[in-house]
Structure 1
Amino acid sequence: MGLSAEPDKLDPTTSSSLYTRYVMNTICEKLYDIDASGTVVPQLASALPTITDGGRTVTIPVRDGVKFADGTDLDAEAVRTTFERNLTLKTSARKSELGPISSVEAKDARTVVVRYETPFAPLTAALADRAGMIMSPKALDALGDKFSEHPTCVGPFSFVARVPQTSITVRRDPLYYAADQVHLDTVTYRIMADANIRAANLRSGDIQVADSISTQDVDALVKERDVGVLQTSSLGYQAMTINLGNTDGAGEPPKQIDTPLARDPRVRLALAYAVDRDALVNSVFNNWYSPACSPIPPTSPYASPAGEACVPHDPAKARELLQQAGVQIPFPITVKTSNTAESLRFAAALQAALEPGGFALQIEPVEYSTLLDQQSAGDFDAILLGWSGRIDPHGNMNSFLVSGGGNNYAGYSNQTVDDTMAEAARSTDTAERAELYGKVMTQVREDNPIIYLYRVRNLAAYTRDTGGVEIFPDGVVRLSRAAFLQEG
């Protein structure tokens, strides 16, 4: 499989890259997963959780007869150990995804009990992603913070080797509980940042699967006899994050950054007014993608008019706000972006689009994995990156917008947002949660720590001699059941 960017650490607790999820999907199964329709289904859990005590107690049954790739048994204590690591590791990006947990108990070998201070509705959805990937306690004991050097979990494949900037290889795990359903001996993920190179390798048969097909290539690929294209809508978004106070790393207490962009909301609101999403999407992505003004996908039951509202494109209003702020016009902003062709094409179009609104955008291309590190460290003024999306909007919003969130790269802190997100997490009423998320987005549009720009369509391609390749709305290309097809 050709990957458009290199994964970050192969560690469920600390990773933040979609491309890492591709690899981890084959080697680290979760308590729950989603199916093609986005419905949560059991994976390493034997059933959906039982919720009691007014939502404060969650009981998870653990599948029997399962072994980690190192031969140790999966049991409730292993699940508890993973929970504890996600909650306590200083560099954890999962803590805020799990909510206000008061305790995690292995009640018996097959039962985990999670207790909460207050009800937390998004837990099951969180456990269908990285927070639910269960790691081998034996490997954690041996490797500690270096778990990513040899990740060991339950999966159809197990980790073999990683060559930085080049490839990651996994092999079929004979200990896997459904090993008879795994058809390939090995899968190699090759790093191919250039979309043209991925497409060429696909056509030549040097690779069988390619992710993130460029919108410049997809119209031609769908017509080719020997290539198939997979596509789904996306649960995520692409955005520009503004650094307001991330001086010591995401999740650390913010400190005010003394620049007009960081301290004056009028400058950020002007930036929002200067963006013409429709024109950008149409010109750069050939209408394959769609404009987005919110982290909540429009198909979500939690979407609402307030949640999806957009700051309109109004360059004159943008200049007026810049004048009120008393800043230089054109106002210079340095924005970091991935050095892939599609990312640079969008950044260049954004640069031209912002000029009438009084902004002079300076583009700084950065290799993707380095860009992720800089985003986490707060080494940016503005940055263009996205999120592949989760089925519950809590997973698209909370850790990015709540004070101290593990993915709060903006260093944003607003008490109204914190309180409202907490209230939404306590509710099991869909309409109430939708209203509360709309309230959050109204505040976010005033502060603009993140300016949402567009929503991709998940696009992947495969050679016709390959079957069983899947892509779901979470954006993950799944190879666990992939196989070469026999002719005839």
Structure 2
Amino acid sequence: MNRRGFLRATGGIAVLGPLAVACADTRKPAASGNAVLKYAMSAEPKGLDLATTTESNSGIVIHNVYDRLVELTADAKNVTPGLAERYDISPDGVTYSFALRSGVKFSDGSVLDANAVVASLRRTMEVGQGASFLLTEHVKPGNIVAKDAGTVVITLDAPFAPFLRALALDAVGSVVNPTVVAANKTQADPTAAKYLARNMAGSGAFQFVRWTPNQVIELKPNEGHWRGRPKLGGVLFNSPVEPSTAALQVERGDLDVAGNLPANLIERLGGLADVGILSTPLLDTTYWVFQTGSKPFNDVRVRQAICYAIDHDAIMANVVKESGVPLRGPLPRDLIDGYDNASEIAVYKRDVAKAKALLADAGYANGLKIDSTYVPGYGTLKQIAEVMQANLKDAGIECSVGELPLSTIIDKVGKGDLPFFSWKSSMNYASPDAMLYTKLHGKATQSVEGNIARYQNAEVDQLLDRARGETDRKAQDADWLAASARISKDVPWLPLYQDVDRRAVRKNIRGYKESSLSRPDLFAVEKS
């Protein structure tokens, strides 16, 4: 799990289209409305500057106040037009040309043209925080240019297949008004980061009104948005309250949408006539990490034995329940066509006899003692750890279970001091590359954001390197699938489940769809 995993911070974009792609706009203008959506946040936002924050509570506000060149569908699999009504990719996969919509303006009436897009992307690179590495690692500022007022051209240093997905990340591709930046910058703050941490200047479907910390963030419709006026009369993002209070507010109609509630409260709300429960698989995954560079976990047979000893079905049925779906290999579902049914992926079911045989073959016929660590107070990790402890005992593995605060675990993980521990990952962008390359490539950083398992496999590295440069979608998916299959057999992680967001939504709210990256688009939502 990275630090943002527990905050469910992600963003990204979906699949690269074929070369010389022309996008067709499928999003429809909306009718006007005056009702205000009241949305419960799970935590106070860290800030509102798209260039400095990647956590999800900031992200949902940013997503609806700013526009991007391209957007992500709710299932994170496809690209839809944004500010760019079409784009072209050169045959070598290096040069991207974006044709902008004409007549788009920022909410203050300023023109949004190619120069504004270029200035915004370069600003993100200059700030150098958040997810800016998805630009700085692949393109030089001088290679982001305005060919003319309606065309942005970006030339990468080398092919990077998930680039469009990265551009659609709120923390990368959201376009901020350069006029506002210029008006609020200082010598000490040349990017106006201090101002934009508490204010917003976008062209999105909604316009920022105010942020009263620990109370509310208010948005109003952008009357001149290029898609038309949103159906809502506004949005109130309410600061978090105690879960039972939030549930009561949903029941009374004081809140319209609320998530991150305990299962018992979700079930109670789901039993009400005027409240529905929306379940959405997220691109967040929960697993236990093996320290593959340390004994006994440097032996793949030990790692496989532990995977066979665990009763995955019982954990899902009795502990996780509706809050997750079983994880196959290292990736969430649906990111690669055919992945969910691919026979190449090793899927572990409980087989105590096989676990014992693998241990004996590894030299542990008389059993094994190991330590396991989890983060307390987060979901069902404690219950999962206890089930795993009992399962492992049946296979002759004595597992001591302990808990450590997240901050301590992060410190120890970065030093490689924990042998077997719980982790949760949120993908920075909706591509297999975000999980496989950044967390399992041999050259990936061994920090908490990277390869914390210290996993090394030259075959996997070769496949991932090749996938990054592929311009053919089928060939790219084939490399990612082959890498995933190899990883599933090496098991640097004990895969558990893909998180499912269970959100209470009052039934007078129509058109609300949760995003797999926790960035719902509120443009088409209406309230009666």
TM tier, smaller: 0.7 to 0.9
> Offset at 1:234?
3.9
The equivalent of 2:149 in structure 1 is 109
Q: Aligned pairs, how many?
A: 464
Once structures 1 and 2 are overlaid, which stretch shifts more, 175-184 or 435-444? 175-184
1:34-433 alignment, distance < 5 Å: 34-36=72-74, 38-45=77-84, 47-68=85-106, 72-87=110-125, 90-96=128-134, 100-101=138-139, 103-130=143-170, 131-137=172-178, 138-139=180-181, 141-144=190-193, 147-155=196-204, 156-158=206-208, 160-161=210-211, 163=213, 166-172=214-220, 174=222, 177=225, 180-181=229-230, 183-192=232-241, 194=243, 196-212=244-260, 214-241=262-289, 260=295, 268-287=303-322, 289-293=324-328, 294-298=330-334, 300-301=336-337, 303=339, 305=342, 308-315=345-352, 324=362, 329-336=368-375, 339-342=377-380, 344-356=382-394, 358=397, 359-364=399-404, 366=406, 381=418, 382-387=421-426, 391-402=430-441, 403-404=443-444, 407-408=449-450, 410=452, 412=454, 414=456, 415-433=458-476
User: 2: distance between equivalents of 1:221 and 1:262?
Assistant: 44
**Structure 2: how far apart are the matches of 1:261 and 1:84?**
47
Q: Which has the higher contact order (CA 8 A, sep 6+)?
A: 2
**CA drift at 1:231:** 2.9
Q: How does 1:461-476 map to 2 (within 5 A)?
A: 461-476=504-519
Partners in 2 of 1:385 and 1:428 — Cα distance?
31
Query: Structure 1 stretch 177-186 or stretch 374-383: which is displaced more?
Result: 374-383
> Equivalent residue of 1:101, what SS?
coil
**Preserved contact between residue 284 and residue 424 of structure 2 (Cα < 8 Å):** no
Q: What is the aligned-residue identity percentage?
A: 21
Provide the C-alpha distance between the structure 2 equivalents of 1:386 and 1:224, rounded to a whole number of angstroms. 33
Separation (CA, whole Å) in 2 of partners of 1:82 and 1:454: 37
TM value normalised by structure 1: 0.78
1:135 maps to a residue whose letter is V
- State the TM-score, normalized to the length of structure 2: 0.73
Most deviating of 294-303 and 264-273:
264-273
Larger Cα-atom Rg: 2
| Structure 2 portions without partners, runs of 5+ | 1-38
Distance in 1, Cα, partners of 2:86 & 2:53:
25
**2:272 alignment partner AA:** E
Could you report, residue by residue, the CA deviation over 1:222-262 in whole angstroms, capped at 9, with x for unpaired residues?
44211022233444433334567xxxxxxxxxxx8xx5478
Structure 1 364/60 Cα, relative in aligned 2: closer, same or farther at 3 Å?
same
The alpha carbon displacement at 1:318 in A equals 5.3
Asked if the contact 2:277/2:503 (under 8 Å) is kept, the reply is yes
**Structure 1, unaligned runs of 5 or more:** 245-255
Q: Distance in 2 between matches of 1:72 and 1:394?
A: 37
Report the Cα distance in structure 2 between the residues aligned to 1:363 and 1:479, rounded to whole angstroms.
39
Q: What secondary structure does 1:462 align onto?
A: strand
CA distance in 2, matches of 1:24, 1:423: 33
d(CA) in 2 for partners of 1:280, 1:336: 17
Alpha-carbon distance between aligned partners in 1 of 2:409 and 2:55, rounded to the nearest angstrom: 8
